[in-house]
Every structure is written in C-alpha cells, then in structure tokens.
Amino acid sequence: MSSLYQVLSPTGELVGDLKGQLDEATMIKMYENMVLVRQFDRKSINLQRQGRMGTYAPFEGQEASQVGSAMALTPGDWLFPTYRDHAAAIVHGQTMARVFLYWMGHMEGSISPKHLHIMPPCVPIATQMVHAVGTAWASKLQSEKHVSIAYFGDGASSEGDFHEALNFAGVFQTPTIFFCQNNGFAISVPFSQQSASKTIAQRSAAYDIPGIRIDGNDIFAVWLTMKEAMQRALEGKGPTLIEAVTFRYGAHTTADDPKKYRDQESLSEEWRQERDPLQRVRVYLENQGLWNETKEADLIARVNEQIDAALVEAESYPKSKPEDMFKHVYAEPSWMATEQESELVKPSKQEGIPA
Amino acid sequence: MKRKLTMIQAITEATDQKLADDSRIMLLGEDIGVNGGVFRATEDLIHKYGPDRVVDTPLAEAGIIGAAIGLAMNGKIPVVEIQFLAFIYPGFEQIVSHAARMRYRTRGQYHVPMVIRTPYGAGIRGPELHSESVETFFAHVPGLKVVAPSTPYDAKGLLIAAMEDPDPVIFLEPTKLYRAFKQEVPEEMYRVPIGKAKVVQEGSDVSIFAWGAMLRVAEDAAKQIERENGLSCEIIDLRTLYPLDRDTIIASVKKTGRAVVVHEAHKTAGLGAEIISIINDEALIYMKAPVKRITGFDVPVPQFSIEDDYLPTTERVKDGIMETATF
Ligand SMILES: Cc1ncc(C[n+]2csc(CCOP(=O)(O)OP(=O)(O)O)c2C)c(N)n1
C-alpha cells in the first residue's frame, strides 16, 4: 500500500536515481530557497503576533513540496496557489513584499509581476483546480508550451471541484499538474476521516490519468516528479496528479489551536527530527563538501536581509484609501457604485434631497 | 440566578439542549466534532453525544448539505454548520434546488426540516471571503426561512425555534457579535418565534430597521441623535429576514412617518429595497420623507485594511436619520 517515491532519504542519503538531471547548483539553490521561505514563514508568524499582520497560514514543514514543485516550473507556467502556498508563489517569482501586503489586508498583495501567471491565493477550497484546467486547456489550444499547476490540500480532495477538475483534465488532456500537499489534516480532520481512500494518488485511476505518491519532504523526489509530469504535459499527454506526503509543524492558521485535535508538539517534533525537508538536503550537501557552517551563516544573514527589505517595502506601501474598494469591480463602474463612492468620500450633510 | 452568556455560548446551549431533547437532531459540519467548530459553537458536544450525532464530515459542502437533505427526508433533523457564509457556495445548489423545493416538488409528501448555521458579516479582520453578508441570496428563494439574531437571548430562542421548524432555516450568526457582549439568558428551553421582529426601543420620530451586527450601530446612532438633536428613534430588530414581519414594520412607520434601513449587505437588491417596497405598498401616505438606506456598498467586501470603511458607521447612520428628519 501507498509506497512513497523517494530519492533522498531523511538521513541525507541518495536512495534514488538523479536521472542525470539534478546538478549541484540546482541542489544548492533548492536548499537556499527552502531556508529563505522557512525564515519568511517564521517572520510572518512573528509579525502576526506583533499585530503587524492579520491572520496568517503557516507552511513550515512543507517547504520541499512547495519549493521543489515551483522550481521545476518555467516563467510562463500558470500557478494557482491556496492561502498556504506563498512559498511556491515566492519561488515562482512573487515578491515577498506582496505576500506580506496580502496578509496585511491589502488586495494589492495579490498583484504578481507582469510577466508571470501567479494567481491570488485561493481561499475557497478546491475551486482553483478547475481554473487550472481552463488555463492549461487554453495553452494547449493556443499551442503555448506551458503547464498550469494547481496546489491544494488533502481536505480539498473531498470537494466536488476536485473531481470535476480531474475529470475535465482527463477528457480534454490538458497540461495541468494537480499538486496535492497531503499534510494529514484539513484543520482538525485527519485524512483517515476525510476519505476512505488509502491515498489521494489512487483517485487518478478513476479518471485514467497518471497519479503518483511521493515523499513530499524530499525535494529531489518532488522536483524530478514534477519534471516528468511537465514533460508529459508538454508532449500533449495530459494531466498528472501528484500527492506529496508531508506535514505542517504549526497551526492551521495563527487563529487556530491544534492542541485540541492532534498531539501537536510531539507529532511536529517527530516530523522535525525524522523527516525535515531542509535537514536532509543540508546533510547531503555537507557530505558532498558543498556546504558548511560558514555558508549556512552567510545564507541566513542574506535571506534575513532580503526579508527585512521586503517588510520595509510592504510597511511603507501607501495606506489603502476607502475609495480604493470601488476600483476594479467592473471595467467601467456603474452609476450605482459611483454614487455610493461619492457618498462614502463626502458623507452628505445637506438638508433635504432633490425631488 | 442571573446567568449571562455570550452569543456563542447561547448557541451552544440551545444546540446541547435540543440534542438532549430530541434524538432526531444531529449535527454535521467541518471541524465541529473534536475541534468544537472553528468558533467553538459545538464545543464538547461530541463527547456528550458521540460521533454519530456530532459528525465531523469530509470537507464538502455539497456533500454535507445534500446528505442533510436526505437525512431530513428520512426522519432526522440535521443541523449543519458551514464554517463561513462564503463557503456555503459549493452547497448552494443543494440549498436552492433541493432543500427549498422538496416540499413543493413532492406536493407536501416530503419536507426538509433542517437548519444551516453559519457565521456571517464583516468587522472581524478576517481574510478574503470571511466577511460576506449575502442574506438576500437566501431570502430570495421561496421555500427557505432566513433568521439573523443580534443578541444571545434571541440566538438561543430563535435557534431552538429553527430546530423545531418543519422547513429549512438558514441561520445567520453575526460573527462580530459572537463574543462582543453577554446578556442574561434563561437556562430553560424557550422559543423566539420565527417571523416576528422586535421593537428594541420605542420612539416617535424615525423608525430604524436593522438586524445582526448592524443593530448595535443603529442603537449607537439613535442614542447620539437623541442626545444631540432630541429626536426620538424607534429601533426595530427584524430578527427574521424571511418571512418579514410586515405588521411590525408598518405599525412603526405609521407612527413615525420616517424610516431608515441599516444593513451591511451590498445596497443594490439588498433587503432594504424590499422593506421600502413593503412601506410603499402599505403605508406610503403616512410617510413624511423617502426611506433612507444606509448599507454596505456595491463592491466585494474589501480586505481588512479598509473593511471598516465598507461597513455602515454610526456617523453614516446619523446622517441618514438627519436626512429623513429634515426632509
Ligand atoms: C469551500 C470551503 N469550505 C471551507 C473552508 C474553510 N477552510 C479553510 S482551510 C480548510 C481546511 C483545508 O484543508 P486542506 O485542503 O487539507 O488544506 P490545508 O489547509 O491542510 O493546507 C477549511 C475547512 C474554505 N476555505 N472553503
């Protein structure tokens, strides 16, 4: 049952084939990216605690899944993140400043660099999956060599949209990658209670598309699996469902207390000790003579500097004005909204209203 | 023996008492069991009644609401919790095409006694899609009842009434008020009738109609206006949004001749328009001024940096009252 594809073991040993694809520079970049997003995540939680940011959804523990999958993409590919996939978005080119802004309660935090197709974090569960079918379908129809990737969780696999997305993608053979981070829980409900299926990957059989279950804490496995899925998609061979088995160490969001539904400390500690995605790469790189304490210290200093700069940028972003809410609702605002806007900006104090 | 409860505690108590009172009642929802619901409305109930009656469901609103319809048709009384109003949309089809129409389609052979509880409304600094106020969607659909309490006392009484109602009830809980204040709530089971508004404060110059979290804003504005301008406001908490309590609305405007409706839902096609229509139909000749609506705007509820600017403020309500008063 449910064997996991693994390339790099938790103790940092190569147990799978690199297929001649993963070079040292990429491995180092992988590690650096994971360190960056982990620091970013921790910083965000602190900012939330200091009241400088709203409710935040942390991802620590899921770095290999997000970073590895996003690093496999090319700039023209379409990325559909959820509220937990900022690491994937950042690696694909979203600026950290924008991610901060989003969690500070500004819609402008959803704007991505112009040349990239990074969608706003999707809040309703599973609904973005069908969009990723649509954009991929259009890419195919327009002969553009791009894939669309939809991120989602194990809980999302219960929603109707999950099934509709897989079915459409299978029927129309769209270049879509369905990337599930199975972190074991949808808020409080464990996967065993979410579904009677043993795995999420096996659902692919029903739609006759390839499904693969991988160690989501093994960034080499994630990256190689993604590369293969992308190649298949770009050769016109349709979608892939990837189930990356992972764990989030922290709470569902900063507004949630997991102590009620899982043995938070000890489960997180166990994953941290035994399966941490950063640790195994670091050990591997050290064993290869590619990493050491000095490099580590340099890296931490470097990423913290980047994160601080992004924070300064986000916090000095102009304050939203009340009238901003009327922008971008339609291409041309209706008279109804225009009147309401003037009422908001200048509360009417005149006596009497025109007949 | 004066016990004071928050709205969330009142909701838990109503649910607990009905679970004990009627073995047909069962709760369904995401994270409502072990976790006690994201707002803790079902705290500990799973330990008391077991996982067959307090069910942690898979994450699937169409599945939850659809299954609840079947349960209701076959002898159970499901009480569904949807985590936030905007997450009801995947189950919307089941609500409007089936829950609302089963009695009609089967010519009364089957009916759907169920309650769908869900937090709604802004002012809580929630992320995107956690602050919607789209009660009109449901009030617009024949076959549904729509309830929105504004106090712990009413929340308990209305929820018990909803669980005893033979028709599907959409029970909208103003998130902002869950823990905003405590109120005396009787320990025993009692009912607040669905379809009856409440005159919160009698007055003679202007009628103010509101519900949910906006009631507090209306009360605030009325208090200030009274102090500053000596105007006497009558405040009506509609409590039920479908069916509307026409008699209470009309009796009030006949007395005052002026009215202001306050709601946080978008203005266009909001319930304010319906209330004005009722007044036009039944009491136009009593009116001394056009009815004023103070509402949220025709824009998606903005993210929290400007969320408060979306919501009707005391200032805006006061301006509205003065506009009708000085017309
Ligand atoms: C349609 C819908 N229903 C409910 C919610 C509330 N909610 C937010 S996250 C979540 C759990 C999601 O779990 P999963 O898909 O496993 O992703 P994870 O959060 O674990 O990354 C729920 C129930 C929602 N956002 N959308």
The Cα A195–Cα A179 span in angstroms is 18
Q: Does position B316 have pLDDT exceeding 60, yes or no?
A: yes
CB A307 within 8 A of CB A34: no
Angle CA(A292)–CA(A295)–CA(A298) in degrees, nearest 5? Answer: 150
Catalytic (active-site) positions of A: 248, 252, 261
Residue B222 and residue B129 in one domain: no
Banded model confidence at residue B260, pLDDT cuts 50, 70, 90: very high
Nearest to B166 by CA among B110, B206, B88: B110
Amino acid at position B60, single letter: A
- Pocket perturbation via mutation, ligand 1, pick of A82, A125, A162 by most ligand atoms within 8 A of CB: A125
CB A270 within 8 A of CB A184: no
Annotated catalytic residue: which of B98, B111, B130, B140?
A: B130
The Cα A140–Cα A138 span in angstroms is 5
Residue B74 and residue B6 in one domain: yes
Neighbours of B157 (CB within 10 A): 23
The Cα B149–Cα B139 span in angstroms is 15
Q: Does position A343 have pLDDT exceeding 90, yes or no?
A: no
Is residue B191 situated within a structural domain? no
- The CATH number that applies at residue A109 is 3.40.50.970
Residue A211 and residue A255 in one domain: yes
Last residue of a domain, one of B165, B186, B207: B186
Residue A316 and residue A326 in one domain: no
The Cα A175–Cα A239 span in angstroms is 5
Q: Please indicate whether, in this complex, the C-beta atoms of B58 and A341 are within 8 angstroms of each other.
A: no
Banded model confidence at residue A347, pLDDT cuts 50, 70, 90: low
Residue A221 and residue A306 in one domain: yes
Residue A222 and residue A329 in one domain: no
- Whether the model clears a pTM of 0.90, i.e. scores above it, the answer is yes
A142-170: average pLDDT: 98
Mean pLDDT rounded to a whole number for chain A: 95
User: Can you give the residue range of the structural domain that contains B310?
Assistant: 198-326
pLDDT at residue B1 in the model: 63
Closest approach of B1 to chain A, Cα-based (Å):
32
Q: In Å, how far from its chain's centre is CA B33? A: 24
| Residues B223, B225, B228, B229, Cα dihedral to 10° | -130
B15-27: average pLDDT: 98
Tokens 């129809």, residue? A141
* Structural domains in chain A (count): 2
pLDDT at residue B83 in the model: 98
What percent of chain B lies above the pLDDT cut of 90? 99
pLDDT at residue A2 in the model: 56
A187-202: average pLDDT: 97
3-state DSSP call for residue A115? Answer: coil
Q: Looking at chain B, which residue has its C-alpha nearest residue A127?
A: B90
Q: Does position A12 have pLDDT exceeding 80, yes or no?
A: yes
Residue B173 and residue B225 in one domain: no
pLDDT at residue B2 in the model: 83
* Structural domains in chain B (count): 2
Total residues belonging to chain B: 327
Is residue B264 situated within a structural domain? yes
B12-24: average pLDDT: 98
Banded model confidence at residue B267, pLDDT cuts 50, 70, 90: very high
Angle CA(B274)–CA(B280)–CA(B285) in degrees, nearest 5? Answer: 155
pLDDT at residue B320 in the model: 97
Nearest to A194 by CA among A202, A184, A203, A204: A184
- The CATH number that applies at residue B229 is 3.40.50.920
Is residue A2 situated within a structural domain? no
Is the alpha carbon torsion for A315, A317, A322, A324 positive or negative? negative
Which residues of chain A does B127 touch, with a Cβ-Cβ cutoff of 8 Å? 54-55, 83, 123
How many Å lie between the centroid of ligand 1 and the Cα of residue B154? 30
Residue A341 and residue A293 in one domain: no
Banded model confidence at residue A200, pLDDT cuts 50, 70, 90: very high
Last residue of a domain, one of B186, B211, B228: B186
3-state DSSP call for residue B27? Answer: strand
CB A78 within 8 A of CB A119: yes
Nearest to A184 by CA among A68, A268, A242, A260: A268
Residue A221 and residue A348 in one domain: no
Nearest to B95 by CA among B69, B72, B118, B119: B69
Q: Please indicate whether, in this complex, the C-beta atoms of A187 and B31 are within 8 angstroms of each other.
A: yes
- The CATH number that applies at residue B21 is 3.40.50.970
Examine residue B243 and say whether the peptide bond preceding it is cis (omega within 30 degrees of 0).
yes
CB B115 within 8 A of CB B71: no
pLDDT tens sequence across A207-217: 999 999 999 99
Tokens 């190689």, residue? A224
Residue A300 and residue A332 in one domain: no
Q: Indicate if ligand 1 lies below 6 Å from the C-beta of B63.
A: no
Residue A311 and residue A343 in one domain: no
Q: Indicate if ligand 1 lies below 6 Å from the C-beta of B304.
A: no
Determine the residue among A119, A123, A129, A317 to mutate to test chain B binding: the one whose Cβ has the most chain B Cβ atoms within 10 Å: A123
pLDDT at residue A353 in the model: 40
Nearest to B26 by CA among B56, B55, B63, B53: B53
Q: Does position B279 have pLDDT exceeding 50, yes or no?
A: yes
CB A181 within 8 A of CB A151: yes
Structure tokens at B258: 């002026």
Q: Which residues, other chains included, contact A152 with Cβ-Cβ below 8 Å and sequence gap of 6+?
A: A82, A125, A126, A128, A129, A162, A178, A179, A180, A181
pLDDT at residue A354 in the model: 40
Residue nearest to atom 19 of ligand 1 (CA): A186
B251 CB-contact burial (10 Å; exposed 0-12 / middle 13-18 / buried 19+): middle
Banded model confidence at residue A344, pLDDT cuts 50, 70, 90: confident
Residue A208 and residue A350 in one domain: no
**What are the distances in angstroms from CA B231 to CA B228, B291, B324?**
8, 16, 11
What percent of chain A lies above the pLDDT cut of 70? 97
Bridge partner residues of B115 (DSSP): B79, B169
Q: In Å, how far from its chain's centre is CA B67? A: 24
Is residue B193 situated within a structural domain? no
Determine the residue among A340, A346, A349, A350 to mutate to test chain B binding: the one whose Cβ has the most chain B Cβ atoms within 10 Å: A340
Residue B98 and residue B225 in one domain: no
Is residue A346 situated within a structural domain? yes
Neighbours of A198 (CB within 10 A): 12
pLDDT tens sequence across A76-86: 999 999 999 99
Residue B182 and residue B203 in one domain: no
The Cα B23–Cα A43 span in angstroms is 49
pLDDT tens sequence across A41-62: 999 999 999 999 999 999 999 9
Residue B48 and residue B148 in one domain: yes
Residue B177 and residue B203 in one domain: no
Q: Which residue blocks in B140-207 are alpha helix, DSSP H?
A: 152-163
Is residue B315 situated within a structural domain? yes
The full DSSP string for B40-71 is -TTTTHHHHH-TTTEEE--S-HHHHHHHHHHH
Residue A283 and residue A303 in one domain: yes
Q: Does position A351 have pLDDT exceeding 70, yes or no?
A: no
Residue B210 and residue B307 in one domain: yes
A246-255: average pLDDT: 96
Which residues of chain B does A322 touch, with a Cβ-Cβ cutoff of 8 Å? 306, 309
Residue B46 and residue B128 in one domain: yes
Residue B156 and residue B290 in one domain: no
Last residue of a domain, one of B186, B208, B243: B186
Is residue A117 situated within a structural domain? yes
Q: Does position B110 have pLDDT exceeding 50, yes or no?
A: yes
Nearest to B290 among A55, A158, A353 (CB): A353
Residue A209 and residue A101 in one domain: yes
Q: Please indicate whether, in this complex, the C-beta atoms of B299 and A337 are within 8 angstroms of each other.
A: yes
Is residue B192 situated within a structural domain? no
Mean pLDDT rounded to a whole number for chain B: 97
The Cα B113–Cα A339 span in angstroms is 42
pLDDT tens sequence across B33-91: 999 999 999 999 999 999 999 999 999 999 999 999 999 999 999 999 999 999 999 99
Q: Which residues, other chains included, contact A187 with Cβ-Cβ below 8 Å and sequence gap of 6+?
A: A155, A252, A256, A261, B30, B31, B35, B38
Residue B89 and residue B211 in one domain: no
Nearest to A105 among B31, B35, B304 (CB): B304
Q: Does position B230 have pLDDT exceeding 90, yes or no?
A: yes
B111 assigned to active site: no
A113-136: average pLDDT: 97
Structure tokens at A159: 């929603």
Residue A68 and residue A115 in one domain: yes
Is the alpha carbon torsion for B35, B38, B44, B50 positive or negative? negative
Residue B147 and residue B242 in one domain: no
User: Can you give the residue range of the structural domain that contains A348?
Assistant: 322-354
Q: Does position A349 have pLDDT exceeding 90, yes or no?
A: no
Is residue A63 situated within a structural domain? yes
A20-29: average pLDDT: 97
Banded model confidence at residue A166, pLDDT cuts 50, 70, 90: very high
Q: Please indicate whether, in this complex, the C-beta atoms of A260 and B36 are within 8 angstroms of each other.
A: yes
Structure tokens at B110: 């089957």
